Amino acid sequence: MKSIIKITIFFVFASFLLTSCGNNGKSGNDGALRSSNAEKVYVAPGEHDEFYAFMSGGYSGNLTVYGLPSGRMFKEIPVFSQFPTSGYGYSEETKPMLNTSFGFVPWDDSHHPDISQTNGELDGRWIFINGNNTPRIARISLKTFETEEIIEVPNSAGNHSSSFITENTEYVVAGTRFAVPVPQKDMPISEYKGNFKGALSFIKVDEETGRMGIKFQILMPGFNYDLSHPGRDKSHGWFFFTTYNTEEANSLLEVNASQNDKDFIAAINWKKIEEYVNNGGGTKMPTNYAHNVYDEHTHTATTTMVKEVLTVNPTEIPGAVYLLPTPKSPHGCDVDPTGEYIIGNGKLSADLTVHSFTKMLDAIENEKFDGDAYGIPILKYEEVLAGSVKSGGLGPLHTEFDDKGNAYTTFFITSEVVKWKVGTWEVLDRKPTYYSVGHLMVPGGNSRKPFGKYVVAMNKITKDRYLPTGPELEHSAQLYDITGDKMELLLDFPTHGEPHYAAGIPASIIKEQSQKIYRLDENKHPYAVTEPGQAKVTRDGNEVHVYMSMIRSHFTPDNIEGVKVGDKVYFHITNHEQDFDVPHGFAMIGANNSELLIMPGQTKTLTWEPKKVGVWPFYCTDFCSALHQEMQGYIRVSPKDSNIDLSWSLDGE
């Protein structure tokens, strides 16, 4: 009898599974086997992908570059983390990039890349990304695909609602996840409520150079500012932030920050605040943060410590900030291409809340308020609500858009992507993800002009999707074709680190501008040697400077004598190649840092502190030519008290 019940339960359960698979999984596994799907992601040898996808590295601290639709990875761009592969963060030139007010911080957690825009469309000049842990924003050139600038964000902690740009790249915006005392001070944690602040930073981007500078910080109530997106087109001039923990709990947040039925989307009229500070508004607060800038011509980064920041109290600027009640701890905050709809992805609910920008303006004008929070007006929920998407899923996180009026939302708990119609809120399609999807990305999906051909789902859980590699697995992305009425799963591909968000752009916009070499005749590095004849070795106390050049397939000089134990040797090495894709490497035995990988025309510096007497080799690490293996040299290290003079040579000369 028992077994009959068991079997019955099993069959009921199995039939339930089968039915739900019938609805959801049809073009999942089966579809991917179809040869037409294989053709859709096949990029023949030697041909190029249609899109670039820049995926954040999450806890790798970096940014990875992929091609779509192939899912091939092209490059890992070091941003917030030391990268021994190239020497980033180890070379003397790039160490300053990782300076902060906490000193040298060699790692971060990179989250949300965003490509620069003009008139709300991707322009492909720069890509920005936030460091979450020690709050920083980086700007990466899309000509060199290298990090050019990192600015620390003071008064912020957990730089998560970042780094999103306004539609003409006027600002890159960074919001704090953790509320903290501003300025920081020694106080009981339990006194958080009402005392901590949430700083939202507006970082001005220079139109020509891309140079960043904090224009102002809005000191908001001590909520947690989760994600943000700019208004665009009609709502250009506004910025929207989701909040959670409006309860202002300081412990066991999973319970205590989930009590309020509604949290808020904060709507910031940044144009109004900009005007206010341009007219002398705001308070200058003493602070200390690092601004690190890499110069492409000196190939060197410098750090400037900034001692002051302009803060703004939002209650002092009438009409600058409003709160839109949004159910259930909203996570993603997304704005559709027309700028009319602001989507709050209430991560603890089944439904998506959509606010209307027009209704919001109307509610503001007619003062349809529902009280205030710390003096900031709360708009009446019903007065701003445009509609809600009854998704049937659980745990909505993020929404992107295509160019046909559709939206795509990820559901973490039910592990799926749901396609719905903007305006009617009708669910059109749903496809499972494998497994537990976080962000998703449509190229240009957060601009006025999305390129609605593919959506990439970035999944948090990989499990059995690939050959197992022990307990630690790469994350898994999935590519869907969204050109038809129904989404079609085309491809799985592993992604490095933990991609949170990604930004995609048609390759045609940026591939022609991708730089091939650095010009040697524009190299302004103070220790560069632009002719092999300038190679030399100098001593200044116990500092030895080696001015070295490299070309296929030798170093000049390759024999150095007169170095002593206790010296600090600086190898300043210039790659004299001016040919595309001919880097040379440099590795020194016993160096306590990394190698250098030096691009044509570039100069990099590695330090080495010889500890042992002897004759020690160095060599090129990049298989540069048929004679790569011969690209090597020796350094003679003599005892500390030795009186051997410095000498250097190549082939006895």
Residues making contact with other proteins (CB under 8 A): 517, 551-552, 577-580, 625-627
The number of CA neighbours under 13 Å toward the Cβ of 578 is 7
Are 9 and 467 within 8 A, CB to CB?
A: no
List beta partners, residue 427. 420
350: Cβ contacts below 8 Å, ≥ 6 apart:
390, 391, 392, 393, 394, 396
Are 544 and 560 within 8 A, CB to CB?
A: no
Residue whose CB is less far from other proteins, 559 or 578: 578
Distance CA 183, CA 196 (A): 9
9: Cβ contacts below 8 Å, ≥ 6 apart:
none
526: Cβ contacts below 8 Å, ≥ 6 apart:
298, 300
How does DSSP assign 542-595, residue by residue?
TEEEEEEEEETTEEES-EEEEEETT-EEEEEEEE---STT--EEEEETT-SS--
Residue whose CB is less far from other proteins, 365 or 651: 651
Residue whose CB is less far from other proteins, 426 or 579: 579
Residue whose CB is less far from other proteins, 148 or 577: 577
Residue whose CB is less far from other proteins, 234 or 519: 519
Are 401 and 342 within 8 A, CB to CB?
A: no
The phi, psi pair for 520, rounded to 5°, reads: -60, -35
Distance CA 56, CA 63 (A): 5
Residue whose CB is less far from other proteins, 385 or 598: 598
Q: What is the CA radius of gyration of the chain?
A: 28
Residue whose CB is less far from other proteins, 501 or 518: 518
Residue whose CB is less far from other proteins, 396 or 600: 600
Residue whose CB is less far from other proteins, 567 or 577: 577
How many CB atoms sit inside 10 A of residue 639's CB? 10
Distance CA 4, CA 341 (A): 54
Residue whose CB is less far from other proteins, 208 or 651: 651
Residue whose CB is less far from other proteins, 437 or 551: 551
The phi, psi pair for 168, rounded to 5°, reads: -115, 25
Residue whose CB is less far from other proteins, 11 or 580: 580
Distance CA 386, CA 569 (A): 66
Instruction: Supply the minimum distance, in Å, between the C-beta of residue 24 and other proteins.
Output: 45
Instruction: Supply the minimum distance, in Å, between the C-beta of residue 517 and other proteins.
Output: 8
Closest CA to 614 of 555, 648, 565: 565
For residue 7, give the 3-state DSSP assignment: helix
The phi, psi pair for 191, rounded to 5°, reads: -90, 20
Instruction: Supply the minimum distance, in Å, between the C-beta of residue 142 and other proteins.
Output: 21
Residue whose CB is less far from other proteins, 47 or 641: 47
What is the side-by-side strand order in the sheet with 502-506?
Answer: 73-77, 63-68, 51-56, 502-506
Residue whose CB is less far from other proteins, 343 or 529: 529
Distance CA 358, CA 392 (A): 27
Instruction: Supply the minimum distance, in Å, between the C-beta of residue 632 and other proteins.
Output: 15
Are 212 and 225 within 8 A, CB to CB?
A: no
The phi, psi pair for 394, rounded to 5°, reads: -130, 135
Instruction: Supply the minimum distance, in Å, between the C-beta of residue 345 and other proteins.
Output: 45
Residue whose CB is less far from other proteins, 166 or 575: 575
Instruction: Supply the minimum distance, in Å, between the C-beta of residue 579 and other proteins.
Output: 5
Closest CA to 222 of 171, 186, 181: 181
Instruction: Supply the minimum distance, in Å, between the C-beta of residue 577 and other proteins.
Output: 8
Residue whose CB is less far from other proteins, 515 or 578: 578
Instruction: Supply the minimum distance, in Å, between the C-beta of residue 523 and other proteins.
Output: 14
Closest CA to 130 of 212, 231, 75, 53: 212
Distance CA 445, CA 452 (A): 8
Are 558 and 632 within 8 A, CB to CB?
A: yes
Distance CA 490, CA 486 (A): 12
Instruction: Supply the minimum distance, in Å, between the C-beta of residue 53 and other proteins.
Output: 24
Are 636 and 589 within 8 A, CB to CB?
A: no
Amino acid at 144: T
Instruction: Supply the minimum distance, in Å, between the C-beta of residue 519 and other proteins.
Output: 9
Closest CA to 77 of 95, 91, 60: 60
Instruction: Supply the minimum distance, in Å, between the C-beta of residue 85 and other proteins.
Output: 22
Distance CA 337, CA 407 (A): 10
Residue whose CB is less far from other proteins, 16 or 580: 580
Instruction: Supply the minimum distance, in Å, between the C-beta of residue 618 and other proteins.
Output: 21
Instruction: Supply the minimum distance, in Å, between the C-beta of residue 581 and other proteins.
Output: 9
